[in-house]
Structure 1
Amino acid sequence: MTEQEAAARISELSARIHHLNYQYYQNSHSEVSDYEFDMLLEELNNLETQFAHLRLPNSPTQRVGGSVTKSFPTVVHKYPMLSLGNTYSEEDLREFHNRVQKVLEGDYEYVCEQKFDGVAISLTYRNGELVRGVTRGDGTRGDDITANVRTIKTIPLKLHGQDFPEEFEVRGEVFMPFSVFEALNAEREDIGEMLLANPRNAASGTLKLQDSGQVARRKLSCYAYGFLSTPMAFETHAEALAALKKWGFNVSDTYQKCSTLEEVLTYIKLWETKRFELPIATDGIVIKVNSFNQQEELGYTAKSPRWAIAYKYKAMSAATRLLNIQYQVGRTGAVTPVALLQPVQLAGTTVKRASLHNANEILRLDIHTGDVVYVEKGGEIIPKITGVDKSQRLPESQPVQYLDTCPACGTPLVRTEGEAHHYCPNEKGCPPQIKGKLEHFISRHAMNIMSLGEGKIDLLFEKGLVTTPDHFYDLTHEKLFGLSKDYVDEKTGKIRTISFGQKTVDNILAAIQKSKEAPFDRVLFALGIRFVGSTVARKLVQHISSIEALKQASYEDLIGVPEIGDRIALSILAWFADPDNQAILKRLQEVGLQFSQEKATAHITQSDKLAGLTFVISGVFEQHSREELQDLITANGGKMVSSISKKLSYLVAGDKMGPAKLEKANELGIKIISETELLTLIGH
């Protein structure tokens, strides 16, 4: 491949992977299988290795891991939490083995472990007691979630015995067992909440909850799989695992020492199907050199250790017949097709439904009525259709035609240019949209009226008690007590009952009253203005501090707010121009919801506390905008510079900071500080 061809392919691959990442993280949509994604990333990485000078600053290969959340204190890892290189082939494993063999002299062995599909955690112990639990974050810094970690019963708070170092770290995987996940989803279904997608997402979301009591009720668990100390207290990884188990840690007994590569391959083959007997999802095997001295001898790349590799199993796939397509309508009017399938066994479960995403996906797959389709399950509750077996297509079958009208209210569907979904425009008369908006209003990150849920909303809507959000505040004991409704549980086929007894009514009315204390940004989010999510609502409130000011804001005023673009601004203007919305807003103001808050300001004071120091700011911050932080720095004698060099004093890092800046700062040994640490330097 010529340099020109390589440059073109690198550009093409980068654009494709960026797009796939956006679809997955922003739209919860996987366009390709995990295997296809990894193959694209591997091809890009190989090209960038061969043509290093063509590597783009924002290449997808430079991503180390996830971003740091704002809700918990941020800490720097004493030992970086690096990612592992992935492979799907025996050939790659043999190449890894050959590389190890070339470096190491004498005998060596491997330890094979399950690659658990959970959330990586770093646990610090001092004098035999847990002192800190930190998420992986971006690999260099993570979130301090110690209060939540303490609720996990399989993580010891105090160790057994006395033969442990004064201070050490344990690496582990926090997970939600299948049994707990299924029970939690059954409970959420009972109260009408949206079902959680998969155990990994459930575990990740649980660890970010502010209320540790809620975390405790989720019954998370943890497998310990790594040990770190200075100096190292053991000679081998297997010895460390045995010690962790002895001290009280939950160590999976599925690991195995292997003296040869053939033993490794035998272990991989054994667990390809046996892994489905475990209480947690796994997607592969981690192979590590056992000796810690030999690990140090092999060393590290910038992102991963050379002494370990992850072998990933290809996603499980099965063929079955498409019986029908069901169309679901969301609160924004988006219509989502779901395939109803002839039941088929896949990855240890019976699959009856699969996601089809949108009309484009149906067209791309060229699906016909009655087709035999390939279904893949990569850990999601609803698997996805990845292809069609056209050799089994029925002669009389016809291509699936996407709906022209709403399945709920019969209104002709519309499709905005540039968007993938079809929409029902009847937002004020379409029952699923009306109920969806009510469910959004009471949701946890909005008004947090958690005593209500989808099932209860259905009943209130059917009785005509609640059709717009302001109606919640008209509910009384007399209106609620004694209401009941029978419904058929889709999973079991049994008839179940929703009823409003004394305790239920008391809880609902108390939660409604409590919701009046919700701050302005959550109330604004609860209104359900299209494109105004919780982050956008916070941004708006920081710059436009009352509902009256927001009602009067012009298009120019709105786009002047950081991160508010044309689409959001026009949506806000349209919402406030609607007479029905104006009436709802007036009623919500009358019942006492919070529609103003003091505007956040930097309160800049002059000093020379930062004299002689230089700063670069990157990312999004919780307390101040970047402009406000820049003003604070310069007002207190500091100097802003545009790039990272050896002369830089501090990199002020926020959420969603560019990975290239983080990597360069680490390479040069630049001190990385948070917004809070900067304010401490100034004396705020």
Structure 2
Amino acid sequence: MDFNPKEEIERLKKLVNYHNNLYYNLDNPILSDTQYDELYNQLKTLEERFPQFRTKNSPTQRVGGTVSSTFAPVPHAVPMMSLDNSYSPAEVSEWYARTAKLLARTDFDMVVEAKIDGISCSLLYTNGKLVRASSRGDGKTGEDITQNVLTVQDIPHQIPNAPLGDLEVRGEIYLDKQDLEILNQKQQQAGENIFANTRNAAAGSLRQKDAAITATRPLKFFAHSFGAGHIQADTFSGFIRLCQSWGFAVSPVRLQTAALADVLQFYKQFDTDRHNLPFDVDGLVVKVDSFSLQRILGNTAKSPRWAIAFKYPAQQATTTLKNVLFSVGRSGIITPVAELEPVPCAGVIISNATLHNFDEVKRLGVRVGDKVIIERAGEVIPKVVKVAQALGQHEVLPPAECPSCHSRVYKEEGEVGYYCINPACPAQLRARLLHFASRGAMDIDGLGENIVDQLLSRQFVKNFADIYRLSFLHLLSLDNFKDKKAQNLLDAIEASKHRPLARLLFALGIAFVGAKTAELLADRFRTMDAFLQAGPEELQAIPEVGETVSQSVYDFTHDPKALELVEDLRREGLNFTQPQKQLSANIFEGKTLVFTGELTTMTRTQAELKAKEYGAKTSGSVSKKTAYVVAGAEAGSKLKKAQELGVPVLTEQQFLDMLK
């Protein structure tokens, strides 16, 4: 069939309008930002090739969605435009080149800010008093959401020293990630819908007909744009300083520079650090700083030429649920895992995602064959967050038997989890061995999934102690093993014998004993023998060790098989003591350290553990309470924040010297 550009443009217009309505008006998107942008760009490219078929009502010629009938319409004095999106340094470089060409200069300042994932809002002040708040709507006309916005606690109702007349401040209303978790717990307890992400939660909260409901939602606001009015500022950065003086919160992530290379480097560094922020960020916004230069550059039909969104690969994607597999963990718990049609998400190809547990499967209403939305944030395991289209027929039910050993599956009344109760289950042994060898436990470099699978299939290893009985000949019989690889693994196994007691307690996989609890226990008892002899009351007397943990530890230390394993490890020469904190290096005692960047002599995890041995605390974020930041190569926003706050910064070598 011949290609008909007019028909294809009309088809794409309908599709884009359909997804615009889901996103802007119903707060129920079924495509990721990247997938939507691909669809939108197909339409835009066709319209550029065949301009005779482009119409004024095309979604490429207007902003966002439509105006809802739920709230009164509000015309915008200055259109609230959307930003063009870019997903690569090459695209931002092209934007910069176009901007420099239009301005006939390259010495213009740019401001880079975090792109908070929330709902755009315009705040109109008259003589300093908040008189109206409106949503973006279709860009030309928004919705009057004043009563709901008045409940947002960090939006000033009156701003000091405000200019006379009208002043419009624009920004983003959002929820913190932690607040979303709490809100969803309340929603679930009340039998209400669960919000898929912070943006949906913010949108749903703002569109309540009853402002009292909005008032119960922990909404927040960042000012990020100037709308209209008269202000004493010639630049965007000057306007932001005014906003701060008026009491507005602004993005804590900001860079001002005239160099494109700085923008690209900032984007690279921020990719990791953004996951440590309390709110969701899907990229950066790059703006020309000067208001006069912004006016020269002007706008397209829907976007300013003086700004661009510099996004990261999508954190969400839509794909098909092909099947649900059952994974058996080291404790015997059975977890449903979604087998997916492979889809790119957050820079990687995703083919599996967790469904957490069978209560979550029921809540989602997910069936094999459904179109589902998956999410991946940072290094977190991808998860299914929503059914986009209910196309499946087959209900997902808990298994009657273990998928590994076919033993009976057990579920205790009142608990969520289903368990395999066979202690000899091969899948449980595999998971326990991988945990034992992991970086936070015994840190046996090279003992990964492929090697563990081969050791189990050849029956070389049946428990933790067998790892220390492996020989050179054992390893040479494995696939792709040569002399050097075998020796490296044997050296790593030997080195693990000297790990402190805290690491061993964590590696043993005692229920409810994580790395931090293991460290508390090891610091309290100092030796394995003292730990094994501890009673429930003595255990509960340790701060942060409650009844559940103490009972689990007591059960472990009175289990004959567990005690037999401990003695087996003793015979293999493992360290059973916890070193005293090095009080000679008391400069770190009780101090908080933050590690950032790439270290050369050890991993960041190892550095944190070393700091703790010397009495320090460690944190993932920098604040005024931080004593030192230890910065390795390619340190990012944490280093910058330390410099802004005046927190002392150490090189890796300085940190090591202070330990001595």
Give the TM-score of the pair, scaled to structure 2: 0.50
Give the TM-score of the pair, scaled to structure 1: 0.48
Larger Rg computed on CA atoms: 2
